[in-house]
Amino acid sequence: MAKPDWEAIESAYRAGALSVRAIAKRYQVPESTLRKFAVRNAWQRDLTEKVAAATKDKVVRSAAVRTFSTKNTVRTDHDIIEQASDEALSVVLSHRVALAGWRQIANHLKAFLSSIVITEDNHASLARTLSAGVDAQLKLIKGERDAYGLNNETAPAQRKS
């Protein structure tokens, strides 16, 4: 078994974007070993808020996914934040692409349901389909608002400086 890349593991741990279990799995080390190593070396998971802020900044400014070479040596807080926010940016942008696909499907379902004539024979099945469509639309809207950072936040023009 290869020696674990403790420097990369430390970066992921300190960034706080992944759970300890996910980090252990990614770097193929036992979770208990990772926890003991972190305690012994006094690692602090103190960069979570900075990573979130950097991710939000990149999402606002980027239309394409940036990549980060895993071969780079990460030593400073800035480098750790950059790496973790690049990974988070990739996740957010992939969610946006997936949501766009679901938006198209929801619109097709809406168009289909709008064109159907309701009769005694199809009333029950159309009611279930309509209910499922409305539920899907509400989930889609919530997902889009989350992915675009529109929940629990004022518009950019309304933010206080």
- What is the Cα–Cα distance from 61 to 147, expressed in whole angstroms? 14
Most confident among 24-38, 126-140, 145-159 (mean pLDDT): 24-38
Query: Across residues 127-154, what is the average pLDDT?
Result: 76
Integer CA distances (angstroms), 50 to 13, 83, 114, 150, in order: 14, 12, 47, 20
pTM for the whole structure: 0.43
For the chain, the maximum distance between any two Cα atoms, rounded to a whole number of angstroms, is: 71
pLDDT category of residue 15 using cuts at 50, 70 and 90: confident
What stretches of the chain adopt beta strand conformation (E)? none
Give 42-66 pLDDT, tens digit per residue.
988 878 778 778 887 777 666 444 4
